[in-house]
Structure 1
Amino acid sequence: MSHLNIAILGFGTVGKGVHYSIKSHQARLEQVLGKSVNVVAILVKNLEKHEQSREDGVLLTTNFEEILNIGELDVIVDAIVGCEPGHTYLTQALEKGIHVVTANKEMFAHHGEELLALAKKNDVTVGFEATVAGGVPVIQTLRQLLQVNRVRKVEGILNGTSNFILSSMRKDGHTFEKTLRAAQENGYAEADPSNDIEGYDAYYKGVVLSQLIFGEKPEEQSTIRKGITDITADYVESADELGLRFRHIVTLFKGQKGVQCKVEPVLISTEHPFYQVDGVQNAVSIETDLVGNVQLQGPGAGMYPTASAILEDIIQISRPVNSEPAYVVYQEEAANSSKWVLFNKNKKLEVPYDIKVLARLSDRAAVVETEEVERILLENPLLAYFELKGNYQHRVEKVNV
């Protein structure tokens, strides 16, 4: 039986998950591919730290050059973080004619176009399913849809840490700070969680999706990236009483001014597909012209969900299909949402008389319908406001001030 030889760069949670999954699913891989899958090398930072992981026939090294010099190396799996040295390593691998699979969303958001072009030039493949939503097969689904369908818009909960915090604040009634500490204690948030809670991680994933769907990155000047750190327990409680839930959502579409990307906390109603997506789950809603709305949900991170995405890419590389989507020009000018949830923490919320109020929970919180939210904000500079997604029918009233 022939072999598929693989090297793994990085041996943290993701790298170990890939290694263990290859061993535990070897029989299934052989059945699907008609060949065995062998891990022949692992790149680590510290040999002593991983000495107990050393196996006969597997090169354990801190020197990437040793991995490049392995004869008959088929695939390199990138399980390290940060733009460098991953970008340099994968560039060298592609130039040598080696397929690569990466889970590094930050690096791929910055260098994906370059790496894909280099792979095409050298007749090899870049797999990047694991860069977006862990075990949720977003990339493969989009590749299939883009053969015929035109994607109008994508919405996604793409960061499990933020979703866990917002869900837990609603369920437990705790402050943002206390919930964040609990997330860190349970391993759902890093010691420095800013990448997740400030929306950078979700934005990188949005960039990857933009390049896949539209063949270009979002317009930087019009990109919105807001974190969740300003959401208070009072906001969450008030929203819950209105039947609404906070979600940190990526919205991606192509308008007349180019690809638009928004990463921001929003409020959603019971009719929205993300209403029941709690905890560390990820979810993606893809709106297309033919099939309609396609929804995917599952674990967005972790050892085995990410390893699953990487193994699926390895399988696609070993039995390739047409993986290059035909980019379509579908332009839709962004329409500002006509429904907003407004909070005023310190004093009575003053809503202009000509603004329709759909619900008023108290004198400090209201759901309004307007295309002039900026006017309200000018008159109430301390206001917190969130876009409302999904149909909303509560108690309708017209308030005259």
Structure 2
Amino acid sequence: MTDIHIALLGFGTVGKGVYETIQTHQTRLKAILGKNVKVAGVLVTDVEKHQLQDDGVLLTSNFEDILNLPKLDIVIEAIIGKEPGFSYLKKSIERGCHIITANKEMFAYHGNELLEYASRFNVACGFEATVAGGIPAIQTIRTLLNVNKIERIEGIVNGTSNYILSKMRDEEVAFQTALQAAQELGYAEADPTNDIEGYDAFYKAMVLSQIAFGEQPEWQRVTRKGISAISHSHIQLFSEWGLRVKHVISLEKGPRGIRCSVKPVLVGPSHPLYSVDGVQNAISIDADIVGNITLQGPGAGKFPTASAIVEDLIQLNASQGSYFKQEENVRFKKDPQVQWVILTKQTNQFLPESLEVISRVPEKAIFVKAKEKDINRLLEGNAELKAYQAYGQLNHELLENLQLNDIRLTRKVAVPKGI
């Protein structure tokens, strides 16, 4: 019986989680694969900073040492940034190794190229860990929803931002206080920009788009907004109305391409993402046969991400070739009217007729239905306004209890400054 020999590129939180999981789950792995799984080599930046329990494992800072291992079947990459991970994986493919990656930024940029390269060399590529940690989102879309036509994907895919927003709401603290708590707990890096400004979520959205629809949207046309400008006072106000602020990715494909956004939105109790709190992640998928399904679980961390990688290791035997669907277009309205909450103290002012007023909270907010382009036009002329898209059905009973006035404006008027 031949062992399966693997190499780990990177030995941070994720790399160590994979190493420990393989060591502690040998019996289970052998029962499934019929072979032992052996870590043959580990690539690190500084050899002096690391120690391994197994003296038979090569510990090196030189990637060529990894490539020159006498037996090597699978290369697992958990390095931050586009390079050198991309180059390392291409060379691993050329050697004939299957590859697995947890690097969402690299895969967002180079995923399609890697998949095609792996196919050319007749090896497999696993990347479940690039999106939502331990949640099997990619395998679900790729293998369990083949007949279903995916119409829409929404998700909370960054645990750091979700933790911060949850703490701001539950403990009524400011953004900086919640961010500091996230850093102390290890949820946020010393430089949290990628998480709080939406870059991490953006990369994951690109991977999901490629998997679900066979292509990515034009990056420059994607709305990407972070959470750093959100006020805790606004969060408490929304809570009074039964709404929660969530940082959500949204994907939908139509004849004109992929519509994608990564931004804070308001979520009502009827929406599947409403109760996803703390560092939890969730992916909500709407498909034409099954309807809506929601996958929820830990989106990051040592063992959730290691779980995704090790499960990929199991799937490699049966999953060679492209993971990407080639979806036909799903028709959607070019720019539909959706619900928005406009925060303003001057709630008695008229709005353009392109904005359908649902209700008003005196001196606090106006609830409207409108196209995104019309909201953007309104905000361009009124810098002091803030607008949040609202997901799920609004609680009309609550609105009535707040003594909101139902108003519909049919007369087109100019928007006064400062509304």
TM-score surpassing 0.5?
Answer: yes
Q: Are 1:56 and 2:55 counterparts? A: yes
Single out whichever of 12-21 and 171-180 deviates more from structure 2.
171-180
C-alpha displacement of 1:321: 7.1
Query: 1:146·1:213 contact (CA, 8 Å) conserved in 2?
Result: no
C-alpha displacement of 1:360: 3.5
Q: Are 1:17 and 2:17 counterparts? A: yes
**Structure 1 residues 352 and 62: CA distance shift in structure 2, 3 A:** same
Q: Which residue of 1 aligns with 2:260?
A: 261
Equivalent position SS for 1:170: helix
Query: 2:358·2:408 contact (CA, 8 Å) conserved in 1?
Result: no
Unaligned runs of 5+ in 1: none
User: Which of 388, 391, 397 is the matching residue for 2:390?
Assistant: 388
Equivalent position SS for 1:93: helix
Q: Which residue of 1 aligns with 2:311?
A: 312
Equivalent position SS for 1:273: coil
Q: Which residue of 2 aligns with 1:233?
A: 232
Equivalent position SS for 2:203: helix
C-alpha displacement of 1:362: 4.1
C-alpha displacement of 1:375: 5.7
Alignment of 1:69-218 (within 5 A): 69-218=68-217
**Structure 1 residues 304 and 338: CA distance shift in structure 2, 3 A:** same
Q: Are 1:242 and 2:250 counterparts? A: no
Equivalent position SS for 1:218: coil
Q: Which residue of 1 aligns with 2:415?
A: none
Query: In angstroms, what is the RMSD of aligned CA positions?
Result: 1.9
**Structure 1 residues 388 and 249: CA distance shift in structure 2, 3 A:** same
Equivalent position SS for 2:30: helix
Equivalent position SS for 1:212: helix
Q: Which residue of 2 aligns with 1:398?
A: 406
Q: Which residue of 2 aligns with 1:290?
A: 289
2: CA distance between counterparts of 1:104 and 1:151?
25
Query: 1:44·1:62 contact (CA, 8 Å) conserved in 2?
Result: yes
2: CA distance between counterparts of 1:325 and 1:117?
10
**Structure 1 residues 302 and 86: CA distance shift in structure 2, 3 A:** same
1: CA distance between counterparts of 2:370 and 2:100?
46
Query: 2:13·2:301 contact (CA, 8 Å) conserved in 1?
Result: yes
TM-score (norm 2): 0.90
C-alpha displacement of 1:293: 1.1
Query: 1:152·1:330 contact (CA, 8 Å) conserved in 2?
Result: no
1: CA distance between counterparts of 2:306 and 2:220?
35
Query: 1:54·1:60 contact (CA, 8 Å) conserved in 2?
Result: no
Partner amino acid, structure 1, of 2:393: N
Query: 1:157·1:283 contact (CA, 8 Å) conserved in 2?
Result: yes
Unaligned runs of 5+ in 2: 410-419
Q: Which residue of 1 aligns with 2:366?
A: 366
C-alpha displacement of 1:37: 0.5
Query: 2:122·2:320 contact (CA, 8 Å) conserved in 1?
Result: no
1: CA distance between counterparts of 2:231 and 2:102?
33
Equivalent position SS for 1:53: coil
**Structure 1 residues 369 and 351: CA distance shift in structure 2, 3 A:** farther
C-alpha displacement of 1:150: 1.1
Q: Which residue of 1 aligns with 2:2?
A: 2
**Structure 1 residues 199 and 100: CA distance shift in structure 2, 3 A:** same
2: CA distance between counterparts of 1:123 and 1:146?
25
Single out whichever of 358-367 and 264-273 deviates more from structure 2.
358-367
Partner amino acid, structure 2, of 1:189: A
Deviations 1:96-149 (A, max 9, x none): 110000000000000101100000000001100000010000010001244211
2: CA distance between counterparts of 1:379 and 1:73?
61
2: CA distance between counterparts of 1:350 and 1:357?
11
TM-score (norm 1): 0.94
Query: 2:101·2:130 contact (CA, 8 Å) conserved in 1?
Result: yes
Query: 1:340·1:388 contact (CA, 8 Å) conserved in 2?
Result: yes
Query: 1:339·1:388 contact (CA, 8 Å) conserved in 2?
Result: yes
Single out whichever of 173-182 and 100-109 deviates more from structure 2.
173-182
Query: 1:282·1:298 contact (CA, 8 Å) conserved in 2?
Result: yes
C-alpha displacement of 1:356: 5.0
Q: Which residue of 1 aligns with 2:412?
A: none
Deviations 1:235-289 (A, max 9, x none): 1011000100000000011123211221000001000001100000000011111
**Structure 1 residues 338 and 352: CA distance shift in structure 2, 3 A:** farther
Query: 1:103·1:130 contact (CA, 8 Å) conserved in 2?
Result: yes
Aligned-pair identity in percent equals: 50
Q: Which residue of 2 aligns with 1:47?
A: 47
Query: 1:351·1:376 contact (CA, 8 Å) conserved in 2?
Result: no
